Amino acid sequence: MSEAVFFYLFTTVMVLAALSVVLNRQPIYSVLSLLLAMFCLAALFVMLGAYFVAALQILLYAGAVLVLFLFVIMLLNLEPEALSRMRLFTLRTAGTLSALVFFLALSKILRSAGQPSTFPNPSPSSGTVESVGRLLFSTYLVPFELTSFLILAAIIGAVTLAKQHPHE
C-alpha cells in the first residue's frame, strides 16, 4: 500500500514539475523545475530496484547536464525583451507539431499494450555496473569519446556566443 502512495506522490510531483518546465517564463526556474522532475524520476527508479540507473540519473542528468544548462543560461544572459522577440507563431507551430508526434507515439504504444513482449530475457549480469563499464569501454568506446568532444565543442560555442564584444 505504501509503495502505491509513494509512486503516486512522486509521479504527481514529477508531472507538475515537468509542466512547470514548459510553462515558466524564466529559464532559471525551468531548469530548477527540471531538476525536481529528475529527482522524482530517480526516486521512481529506486522504487523499481534500479539503484544504478537512479544513481546515474542523479549524477549525470541532475548533476552534469543541468549544471551545463545553468552555465549556458547565465552566459547567454537572456533578457525578457530578447525572449519576447521570438516569433510567437513559430513557437506555437513547433509546440503543436511536437504534441502531435507525442500523441501519435503514445497512441501506438497504447494500441500495442495488450500484445506479448518480443524483448529477449536479459542475462542476470546484464545490468551490473561491471557489465555496463565493460560494454562502454570496449564496444562503445568511440561513441563515448565522440560525445565528450561534442560536449567540449558545445561549451566552447556557448562561451564564444556569450562573449561580449566591447567595440560593437
Q: 23 or 155, which is more confident?
A: 23
pLDDT of residue 167: 61
* Residue 112 pLDDT greater than 80, yes or no: no
Distances (CA, A) of 42 to 56, 91, 97: 9, 30, 29
Among the residue ranges 96-100, 124-128, 132-136, the one predicted with the least confidence is 124-128
Last residue of a domain, one of 15, 47, 81: 81
Q: Does residue 152 lie in a domain region?
A: yes
- Non-local CB neighbours of 14 within 8 Å, separated by 6+ positions: 36, 37, 40, 41, 44
CATH of residue 32's domain is 1.20.120.1200
Q: Does residue 114 lie in a domain region?
A: no
Q: Are residues 76 and 142 in the same domain?
A: no
What is the mean pLDDT of the segment spanning 126-138? Answer: 77
What is the mean pLDDT of the segment spanning 73-101? Answer: 67
Q: Does residue 118 lie in a domain region?
A: no
Q: 86 or 90, which is more confident?
A: 90
Last residue of a domain, one of 48, 81, 114: 81
pLDDT of residue 164: 64
pLDDT of residue 78: 60
Q: Does residue 50 lie in a domain region?
A: yes
Among the residue ranges 21-30, 68-77, 148-157, the one predicted with the least confidence is 68-77
pLDDT tens column, 140-167: 888 888 888 888 888 887 777 777 666 6
Q: Does residue 119 lie in a domain region?
A: no
Closest of 72, 77, 39 to residue 57, by C-alpha: 39
Q: Are residues 77 and 142 in the same domain?
A: no
Q: Are residues 1 and 73 in the same domain?
A: yes
Provide the residue range defining the domain that includes 36. Answer: 1-81
* Residue 15 pLDDT greater than 90, yes or no: yes
Q: Does residue 161 lie in a domain region?
A: yes
Q: Are residues 66 and 135 in the same domain?
A: no
pLDDT of residue 157: 79
Q: Does residue 93 lie in a domain region?
A: no
Q: How confident is the model at residue 102 (pLDDT cuts 50, 70, 90)?
A: confident
What value does the mean pLDDT of the chain take?
78
pLDDT of residue 10: 92
pLDDT of residue 16: 93
Asked whether 76 and 157 are in contact (CB, 8 A), the reply is: no
Q: Is the dihedral of CA 93, 68, 146, 123 positive or negative?
A: negative
Q: Are residues 71 and 138 in the same domain?
A: no
Overall number of domains in the chain:
2
Last residue of a domain, one of 23, 50, 81: 81
φ and ψ at residue 77, rounded to 5 degrees: 50, 60
Q: Does residue 101 lie in a domain region?
A: no
C-alpha to C-alpha distance for 153 and 61, rounded to whole angstroms: 19
Q: Are residues 75 and 8 in the same domain?
A: yes
